[in-house]
Chains A and B, each alone.
Chain A
Amino acid sequence: MTRKQRRLAMIAGGLSVLAVAVLLVLFAMKDSIVFFNSPTDVVEKHIAPGARIRLGGLVAPGSLSRGEALSVRFEVTDGNHAIAVTYQGLLPDLFREGQGVVAEGTLDGAGVFKADNVLAKHDETYMPKEVADALKKQGHWKDEYESKKSGPVLP
């Protein structure tokens, strides 16, 4: 092979691997990306049952109830709308009523969100960013959420 042919072969090889990678990325983008929605989004966008989404908001106070075999039911609210969520399993340490939560799963035909993963992050002052933004958008952001985040409370 001449110098030029070798170089061409190498470039062609490189490009073909890249092309395969691009195809894989596009394929994965189509199937495995999950959109974040607030309860208002769910109502307004008419999310189809069965579509995988992330639902974020506050756990509505007084809505948590436990059933058989570690099943739980609670409502996620952004102040305007509330969506009932069912989940089976262990809730994270920082899951509390009145605090921010993100649940991943699908809506069933009756409009109940079946979560297979519930996230509450690792810090008591933590408000998931998506949840904070969604609350601000709905006009239900309270300053007390922020004050928990701000600097130390001096003695």
Chain B
Amino acid sequence: MIAEVGHYALVLALALALIQSVVPLIGARARDGALMAVATPTALAQFAFVALSFVMLVSCYVGSDFSVRNVFENLHSAMPLIYKFTSTWGNHEGSMLLWVLILSLFGALVAVFAANIPDTLKATVLAVQAWIAATFYLFILTTSNPFLRLDPAPFEGRDLNPILQDLGLAIHPPLLYLGYVGFSISFSFAVAALIEGRIDAAWARRVRPWLLVAWMCLTAGISMGSYWAYYELGWGGWWFWDPVENASLMPWLVGTALLHSAVVMEKREALKIWNLLLAILTFSLSLIGTFLVRSGVLTSVHAFASDPLRGVFILAILVLFIGGGLGLFAWRAPLLRQGGLFAPVSREGALVLNNLFLTTACATVFVGTLYPLALEALTGEKISVGAPFFNTTFGPVFACLLVALPFGPLLSWKRGDLAGVAQRLAGAFLVALIGLAASFVLEGKPLLAPLGVGLALFVITGAVTDICERIGLLRTPLATVLRRAAGLPRSAWGTAFAHLGLGITLLGIVGETQWGAERIVSVKPGDKVAVRNYDVTFDRTFNRTGPNYTELAAAFTVRRHGEIVGVMEPSKRNFAARQMTTTESALMARGVSQLYLSLGEVNADGSVGIRLYYKPLVLLIWLGGVVMVLGGGLSLSDRRLRVGAPKPARAKAAVMVPAE
């Protein structure tokens, strides 16, 4: 029964989405309040039904109902409860259900919280949301139904891919999807603006909270995914330029650009058309990400199972929304009233420069990710594009962005004073130079490392300088400083924290990639391996049993200058149901640096192959991500987003009468 209820609820959600995608739109065109008012209850009911459907699937998983094919393929009855729960989305069908759950959640949130936006805009936005929802419900019901039954029901399931049996699965996919799908709201707002033929500063303010939420979730999702790959895969790497990772990085880059350019629109009513284009592109890239991961075009950890029909269906969705969105843009955007122009040296100018670098960086990632697919389709030649490609293309572009970054927030609107800003950044320059020199003297060798440290410190102290300047630290009495700090808009704190986080991440990346040490050796009990200031002694191996696996663990004693600092126990887990072995690495944090130990082959003579890494500053990579998300949160709590947009005077409103 449970599975059937879930299936039926999803069908009802599809029916509601179809109503919601047509009726409010007709209402908005005809200015009929009653028809437009249909959007809110349908959006809420749609969410209720998808939520019901999702809860039903979860209960099939938690209750180990192997008569459901999807559960049979991805669950083992001995799994701990938390993993039974997360298995729900540890497969293609379930993860698509999570995708539409989040989509309908955002639709419902817009219906509830977007109280002070014009009725026609709200109705159109919700209708566009329903178009997206309807196509995805259709996709799930026709090609990826998680509720199909098996008869007779098997006694035991085939277990979840062991690599996914980790707490990371509980956090990474939901966060990533919140980010991907969150960008659908700005897409819907952009399409609605194009349909309505009007866009103004208030539009940017209305979109901003949704953008911020999506951006925060995507940032956290990418950061979390990177840490998960780092500790789970056992290679000690945290970013592989894998197409699937790139698929999440591309919407992040363009979404970040949109976050910045929307500010220009809000403050100066400029870059209107550019904003619309970015909003469409951001969600398009999210859809491309979904396509790359879900269609089976790529094979990776993330590609659960491939079915050609699914690929074709997702490709059709892609063409429909990206083609449709860009087509609508090409048709309607020229009719919108142009925004103002501005001086190149100004805050606006700096934000445009930011957009230029971010979109160019995204374009290089796009080429590197899709070129192999295109080449194979055209010539049959198979190539792989790896880290060296991205280091030489993405690297320099992003480095330029980082050099320019500290200048941006210090420039004033309309007309900035570059010399004045450079003077105020003198402290940051100095800190960066000292850092550069110190790391050159202390660590030397790869010249890239001191330069990277200098750049990271420049970004970090630049963010601190920004705040100090605003609150007048060291220039005014302390009481005034505190009063100013309290009165400073939260968005200013948000900007500083987000930039600070980026600098911290960069520092971690430089430390890990340039100064890391690696030992790959074979050891026998009693052997000692040294890395940096640490000695690691192999003591013994022993067996352990988990709920659905057995593992062979090895105990190592870690000493620093001869003094014991702890024990590390990496292991090899063997999952019987899938006859699969995973490597569980052992991590030991020393400040923000880490020792990383993972096991290789265990030989008959008792010797073990090990990988031992010393990873300096590695934790800063993810700590920076946390600080960036914190910045997003501060910005989200800004008062101006709560009070809502000021009502523009009728005469001043940038109304464009559609040429009909």
Residues of chain A whose beta carbon lies under 8 Å from any beta carbon of chain B: 1, 3, 6-7, 9-10, 13-14, 17-18, 20-21, 24-25, 27-29, 31-36, 54, 69-70, 88-91, 93-94, 104, 121-124, 126, 128-130, 133, 151-152, 154-155
B299 touches A10 (CB 8 A): no
CA distance A95 to B147 in the complex (A): 35
Q: State the CA gap A27–B285 with chains docked (Å).
A: 25
User: In the bound complex, what is the Cα–Cα distance between A82 and B115 (angstroms)?
Assistant: 69
Query: Nearest chain B CB to A29's CB is how many angstroms away?
Result: 7
A6 touches B363 (CB 8 A): no
B interface residue numbers (CB < 8 A to A): 69, 72-73, 150, 152, 154-155, 158, 161, 163, 233-234, 299-301, 341-344, 352-353, 356-357, 360, 363-364, 367-368, 371, 381-386, 388-389, 392-393, 396-397, 520-522, 572, 578-583, 600-601, 609-611
Closest to B355 in A: A14
Q: Is the CB of A93 within 8 A of B73?
A: no
Complex contact B356–A24 (CB within 8 A): no
> Known interface pairs A10-B344, A13-B356, A123-B161. Does A89 touch B392 (Cβ–Cβ under 8 Å)?
no
Other 16 A-B pairs with CB < 8 A, given A17-B397, A34-B384: A6-B341, A6-B343, A10-B344, A20-B397, A21-B363, A24-B396, A24-B397, A29-B371, A32-B388, A35-B381, A91-B601, A121-B300, A123-B580, A129-B299, A152-B150, A154-B152
> Which residues on the B side are within 8 Å of A6 (C-beta)?
341-344
**Cβ B578 vs Cβ A124 within 8 A:** yes
A93 and B602 CA atoms in complex are apart in Å by: 11
Given the interface pairs A35-B382, A70-B609, A124-B578, the reply to whether A154 lies near B396 with Cβ below 8 Å is no
- Most-contacted residue by chain B among A28, A121, A129, A151 (CB, 10 A): A28
Min CB distance A91 to B, Å, is: 7
Q: Is the CB of A33 within 8 A of B154?
A: no
Decide if the interface of chain A is mainly helix, strand, loop or mixed.
Answer: mixed
Contact of B357 among A17, A32, A124 (CB under 8 A): A17
Query: Once the chains bind, are A24 and B73 in contact (CB under 8 Å)?
Result: no
- CB < 8 Å neighbour of B383 from A25, A31, A33, A69: A33
Are A90 and B388 touching (Cβ within 8 A)? no
Q: Pick the contact of A32 from B363, B392, B600 — CB < 8 Å?
A: B392
Q: Which of B69, B300, B582, B610 contacts A152 (CB 8 A)?
A: B69
On chain A, the residues within 8 Å of B352 by CB distance are: 10
A34-B397 contact in complex given A90-B520, A155-B155, C-beta closer than 8 Å: no
Using A28-B389, A126-B299, A129-B299 as known contacts, say yes or no to A93 and B583 having CB atoms under 8 A apart. Answer: yes
B73 close to A152 (CB less than 8 A): yes
Tell me if A25 and B385 are in contact (CB < 8 A): no
Q: Closest CB of chain B to A105's CB: distance in Å?
A: 13
Q: Can you list 21 residue pairs at the A/B interface with Cβ under 8 Å?
A: A1-B343, A6-B341, A18-B360, A24-B393, A24-B396, A27-B392, A31-B388, A31-B392, A32-B392, A34-B384, A34-B386, A35-B382, A36-B384, A70-B521, A70-B609, A89-B600, A90-B600, A93-B572, A93-B582, A124-B580, A152-B158
Q: Complex formed: what's the CA distance from A54 to B386 in Å?
A: 12
Given A32-B392, A70-B520, A123-B161, the answer on whether A54 and B397 have CB atoms closer than 8 Å is no
Does A21 lie within 8 Å of B397, measured CB to CB? yes
Closest 7 CB pairs of A and B: A90-B600, A32-B388, A36-B382, A28-B392, A32-B389, A24-B393, A28-B389
On whether A17 and B385 interact (CB within 8 A), knowing A25-B393, A93-B582, the answer reads no
CB neighbours (8 Å) of A151 from chain B are 73
Point out the residue from A7, A33, A94 that lies within 8 Å of B389, measured CB to CB. A33
